[in-house]
Structure 1
Amino acid sequence: MWFQMFLCRDRNMTIDLALRAKRSGFRALVLTVDYPTASLKYHDIKSQYNYVYPIVNYNPYNVSELNNFVAKDCIWKDIQWLKETTGLPIVIKGILTAEDARLAVDNGADAILVSNHGGRQLDGSPATLEALPEIVKEVGREIDVYMDGGVRTGADVFKALAIGAKVVFVGRPVCWGLVCNGSDGVKQVLDILHNELDNYMTIAGTPTVGDITRNHVRYVNDYRNHLKSIL
């Protein structure tokens, strides 16, 4: 089990939460770094939707809204501080460039989760599948690189694994399954993804996940360069 968290304005609150997670059996911290504040969502403003996050883990601190406690003054050295203070591995979630991946690793990150927050934070941010190659190239030999965002089919999982993701995380489909049929719905969603991936691997001639390589995907530029060489 991994505990996803933010750096809080009150650093004592950050450590308290992290150590509570550790005592509860969590074995790593997933530190989200792409949420210094909520993004403007005009359709929600128009509909007067109220973003309130009644997060049980934060109830002892009388916190109900993320913007009231998420730190806006984070620095890279906070990674090493959190790691040393808690004794837990730190996975950095929200990295989209090779430069930031390098900074995260140089400052103590044990793994990186390539994520764009579901595309809900910054308009124009790259799709995670587009950002993945440069990050894998930069730090993939040193630490594990994971990916989430936009994963809807087993084919999506295959592509991410081929580009170099060690693990592919799934968000919204799991939520849909949970809403439709509780834990059974979640299991059904995961079963669908597993069956699709198995089918895709069979057709692609990859008996095991270890057989999936970068040679199994090709980008648009690859085709363009191939066409130029023919012409």
Structure 2
Amino acid sequence: MTELSKITCIEDFRAVAKRRVPRMFYDYADSGSWTEGTYRSNETDFQKLKFRQRVAVDIEKRSLRTTMAGIDVAMPVAIAPTGLTGMQHADGEILGAKAAEKFGIPFTLSTMSICSIEDIAAHTSRPFWFQLYVMRDKGFMERLINRAKAANCSALVVTLDLQVMGQRNKDIKNGLSTPPKPTLVNLLNLLTKPRWCLGMAGTKRREFGNIVGHVEGISDTSSLASWTNEQFDPSLNWNDIEWIKKLWGGKLILKGIMDAEDARLAVETGADAIVVSNHGGRQLDGAPSSIAALPRIAQAVGNDIEVWMDGGIRSGQDVLRAVALGAKGTLIGRSFLYSLGAFGEAGVTRGLQLIANELDVTMAFCGRTAIKDVDRSILLEPDLFD
């Protein structure tokens, strides 16, 4: 039995989550599309960036505090929107939101969450962010936006890179559904996950909370692939973003930017921030890693818009590398899911503490005392991905 106090890194959480979370949901989180090449490079490309260690610098007083889209944050990290989070751990989105609020960073709720917008609002006291997909049913989108407004969400994150769904082979082989279909293979696997089963038995939240009961005519709400094929809109274009911006009226973040030209077009929409993201390597296999794409995009937009990134962040050192290459903030998805699946809310809190400590100590070794002052000069080869 692994004790939470013995967990020292995100990889430790991943190993525990793999034992505790049913196979289909663990694989859903820990996989990419097709060959998974981009999924793997998201993580490994960070390791190519080496730090310049400095000495004899006064580093006694240090601060990781900064802002993301005008919101004060304890460190330049937010929890990314992740689908089916409530299947990694019972009431997972609620637990993640509570941990993020206590730590002082933003939490983003996915459209494809198990817990609903209203669930998160009922269990938190500070505003959270809501992530929106562009769908064929514009009436449903409008209702989602209005629900986010009613829940006092402080930013809307629009994901742009899921007009069609990338092929994720593990999901196909596992027959991914929520709740799991009672096949022999699934039942045998669930027998090895008593902790998970006990948690799910104690909650009523086992379906897509933002969808079930809020939309008619969906043939199979248990299937993410089915919902995507029926509802996600392949005709998405920049005019849709203009419509969403007017309807929302608040802070707008565009997620899924991997090209400098698209970044410039995003600036023209008047969005508050963009997220350099390849959807965790789950969409276009063969695309560059997010960290490799970051420098060109940051250079292309300059100070015209805040640039954030996600994909492959497994430590505070990765956060520092991203900041050095121009990111004003980062989002963590799998690191959050591993810690949640392993130990619930306490795991998320511990994971955030580990990331903050790694970020703080590494920044100190680089001779910096404020995250706002970090730039490319802390890296030995800052032009590696230029």
Per the normalisation by structure 2, the TM-score is 0.55
Change (3 A) 1:184 1:91: same
AA aligned to 1:58 is I
Q: Which moved more, 1:53-62 or 1:200-209?
A: 53-62
2:344 & 2:371 partners in 1: Cα distance?
29
Change (3 A) 1:43 1:57: closer
Change (3 A) 1:48 1:172: closer
Partner of 2:176: 50
Partner of 2:137: 10
AA aligned to 2:228 is L
Contact persistence 1:79–1:109 (CA under 8 A)? no
Partner of 2:341: 179
Match of 2:331 among 165, 169, 192: 169
Contact persistence 1:10–1:69 (CA under 8 A)? yes
Match of 1:133 among 292, 295, 301: 295
Contact persistence 1:79–1:108 (CA under 8 A)? no
Change (3 A) 1:42 1:177: closer
Secondary structure, aligned partner of 1:109: coil
Contact persistence 1:116–1:149 (CA under 8 A)? yes
Contact persistence 2:294–2:309 (CA under 8 A)? yes
Secondary structure, aligned partner of 2:139: helix
The alpha-carbon deviation at position 57 of structure 1 amounts to: 0.8
User: Quick check: 1:103 aligned with 2:265?
Assistant: yes
2:291 & 2:378 partners in 1: Cα distance?
14
Matches within 5 A, 1:83-162: 83-162=245-324
The alpha-carbon deviation at position 218 of structure 1 amounts to: 4.2
Contact persistence 2:325–2:382 (CA under 8 A)? no
Aligned residue-pair number: 222
Partner of 2:231: 69
Write 1 or 2 for the structure with the bigger share of helix: 1
Secondary structure, aligned partner of 2:146: helix
Contact persistence 2:254–2:275 (CA under 8 A)? yes
1:127 & 1:18 partners in 2: Cα distance?
31
AA aligned to 1:155 is Q
Per the normalisation by structure 1, the TM-score is 0.90
Secondary structure, aligned partner of 1:56: coil
1:205 & 1:113 partners in 2: Cα distance?
28
Contact persistence 1:111–1:144 (CA under 8 A)? yes
Partner of 1:226: none
Stretches of structure 2 lacking an aligned partner (at least 5 in a row): 1-127, 180-206, 222-226
The alpha-carbon deviation at position 31 of structure 1 amounts to: 0.3
Secondary structure, aligned partner of 1:184: helix
Contact persistence 2:376–2:382 (CA under 8 A)? no
Instruction: Among all aligned residue pairs of Structure 1 and Structure 2, give the percentage whose two residues are the same amino acid.
Output: 40
User: Quick check: 1:79 aligned with 2:241?
Assistant: yes
Match of 1:204 among 353, 366, 369: 366
1:155-204 CA deviation, whole Å, 9 max, x = no partner? 10111011111111111111111111111100000000011111101111
Stretches of structure 1 lacking an aligned partner (at least 5 in a row): 223-231
2:235 & 2:177 partners in 1: Cα distance?
22
2:244 & 2:313 partners in 1: Cα distance?
30
How large is the RMSD of aligned CA atoms in angstroms?
Answer: 1.9
